[in-house]
Structure 1
Amino acid sequence: MEEMNVFLTMIYRELKRFIRSPSRIIGSILNPLLWLIFFGKGWSGVFNFPMATRIFGGVDYMTYLVPGVVVMTVFDMSFLQGLTIIWDKQFGFMKEILVAPASRVESILGRITGGAIVAMIQGFIMVALSFIVANLKVSGVIPTLILAFFVGVAIAGLGVAVALKMSSMEGFQIIVMMLMLPMMFLSGAFYPVRTMPNWMQWLAKINPLTYAVDGARYYLAGVTPTFGIMQDWIVLILLALVFAGFAGLEFRKAYLS
């Protein structure tokens, strides 16, 4: 019961931090909106011919792009969960966790889960706004958000594991930028995986975001999945378990007294 209390408390803390930071909410929404408006609208004009819909699975480019931007939003916010770990190490909150009579693994899993829930909320906001500019399926919102939660847990776990080995916020942000752009462009968010060169397709297959985009695009836009929807679910659930477990073990190892 005590372990469950610390798990829920850490989730509550992440949600409270999110609600109390209007600038974070606005910033997290503004960036993907800029992608939709300037990138999506710009390229929609380029692909405004009948044959283009065949390239993008039978939908217009804006509808094709939206699921990728939603996943990109979840990825961005989830990975930055690691930044809060560095922040807490510098300002003393981490020490309070370490001296508390509670499971360290449960506390870090609560933070990862809370971060994934926050990222999922931001993904939901993006989906809701995207109905204005794209032809999306309302029935696909809930399964897309569940997919977003699993990819959020996986990426937040990865971000936390990386942050535990670092002490500099600047260094962590550099790593985020180094990983973010390749993972985004290899995910199929902006163009189909099957049109990539062979070596890029192999990299796409080991990219967690690829399966999240593939599943989200199936549910929101009705595009036939590249890998199969069951494979998308299995990969994301397994990655969520693996990365969350890895982060928990790394946290325990890093602060083992």
Structure 2
Amino acid sequence: MQVFLTMIYRELKRFSRSRARVIGSIINPLIWLIFFGKGWSGVFNNPMAAQLFGGVDYMTYLVPGIVAMTVFNMSFMQGITLIWDKQFGFLKEILVAPASRTEAILGRITGGALMAMIQGVIILALSFTMADLNVSGVLPALGLSFLVGIAIASMGVAIALKMTSMEGFQMIVTMIMLPMTFLSGAFYPISTMPEWMQWLAKVNPLTYAVDGSRYYLAGVEPTFGIVTDWVVLAGLAALFAGIAALEFRKATID
């Protein structure tokens, strides 16, 4: 477990030392909450809209989605740090070290998920001043965030292992992230989407994190059932982590 814990420590330490990255990761979700959430709250300030959003105001409906989206976005960026390590030779040192590659990559993924979850905690804490949220739902919502963080960090690492260009990775990830974000139900109910979009939403990991977090934090009845949300996210986290570990074990020094 020493390699696993060391990689977690490294990811958290590197993030804490990057002030610009910490500030940027907090400001971006706040922009969504303030300019998007507050703007649309006035539009949806009526009883009919409250029924559409599960009986809560739009800001309360939006916050759990933004928190899950924050964890999702930051977890995906774990792939960029992997490419960075490729370019500066640190990844080569891990590959030739007499240590378990599986432990090393799982530690890296876990560290990335924890880092993303910490940012989610900060956004959630600030959101209590903007929305009517359930304090009792914080811990289970963070549990769901951690699972989606593991799943998406693993996906980002698996993609990055196949690439050498940071620009290429960012382009591919942006193409993946935007549809997944809008299909997750973070901004509007899945039931209002066209049928073909609803089918895509059902295969989106972020959908289940948003669905479960909204149930715990806002009291909105889950679309898929809270047990389903936990089971799907746990299964996807294990699946994608396994894929990332397998790809890393096959990686070469070149």
The bucket for the TM-score relative to the shorter chain is over 0.9
Deviation at 1:131, TM superposition (A): 0.3
**Corresponding residue of 2:226:** 229
TM-score by length of structure 2 reads 0.99
Unaligned runs of 5+ in 2: none
Q: Deviations over 1:21-56 (max 9, x none)?
A: 111110001000000011101110110111110000
Which of 108, 114, 123 is equivalent to 2:120?
Answer: 123
**Corresponding residue of 1:107:** 104
**Corresponding residue of 2:27:** 30
Which of 49, 52, 56 is equivalent to 1:55?
Answer: 52
Give me the whole-angstrom Cα distance separating, in 1, the residues matched to 2:46 and 2:96: 63
Deviation at 1:255, TM superposition (A): 2.4
Give me the whole-angstrom Cα distance separating, in 1, the residues matched to 2:84 and 2:133: 38
Deviates more, 1:57-66 or 1:90-99: 90-99
**Corresponding residue of 1:182:** 179
Unaligned runs of 5+ in 1: none
Displacement over 2 Å in runs of 4+:
none
The aligned amino acid for 1:186 is L
**Corresponding residue of 2:248:** 251
The aligned amino acid for 2:162 is K
Q: Deviations over 1:73-106 (max 9, x none)?
A: 0011000001111000000101111121101111
Q: Is the 8 A contact 2:95 2:101 kept in 1?
A: yes
Q: Is the 8 A contact 2:5 2:107 kept in 1?
A: yes
Deviation at 1:181, TM superposition (A): 1.0
Q: Pairwise mapping of residues 21-170 of structure 1 onto structure 2 (< 5 A)?
A: 21-170=18-167
Percent identity, aligned pairs only?
A: 76
Q: Deviations over 1:146-186 (max 9, x none)?
A: 11100000000000000000000000111111111100110
Deviation at 1:256, TM superposition (A): 7.9
Aligned length: 254
Give me the whole-angstrom Cα distance separating, in 2, the residues matched to 1:29 and 1:86: 23
Calculate the aligned-residue CA RMSD, in Å: 1.0
Describe the SS at the equivalent of 2:123.
helix
The aligned amino acid for 1:57 is G
**Corresponding residue of 2:202:** 205
Give me the whole-angstrom Cα distance separating, in 1, the residues matched to 2:252 and 2:208: 33
Describe the SS at the equivalent of 1:98.
helix
The aligned amino acid for 1:229 is I
**Corresponding residue of 1:195:** 192
Q: Deviations over 1:55-82 (max 9, x none)?
A: 0000000000001100110011000001
